[in-house]
Amino acid sequence: MKKEQHELIKLLRERAAHVAEWLQKENPQSFAEQRHLDSGTPERVAWHLGYLAALNDIVELLVQSGPSRINA
């Protein structure tokens, strides 16, 4: 694996750790409740908005890193 790939993976893991830490502080029961799985709930909408933002962030990171990383 290339150095750039390691750096990207490290960055993504750090972001995930920060989000998990924030969730634990803000609403620790959310890990057990899983309301985002319930159809028609605001939690489900919020989850999908967050997932969309995460996908867009990853795409942007890949674009910024250049075509070599996308094809690796």
Give the count of domains, the chain.
1
What is residue 30's predicted lDDT score, i.e. its pLDDT?
A: 85
Which residue bears the tokens 């933002």? 53
Q: How far apart are the first and last CA of the chain?
A: 9
Give just the sign of the alpha carbon dihedral 48, 49, 52, 57. negative
pTM beyond 0.85: no
What DSSP character marks residue 28? T
Mean pLDDT of 4-15: 89
| Domain membership of residue 24 as a residue range | 3-70
14-69 pLDDT, tens digit each? 999 999 999 999 999 988 999 999 999 999 999 999 999 999 999 998 888 776 54
Contact 36, 44 (CB under 8 A): yes
For position 69, what pLDDT does the model report?
Answer: 46
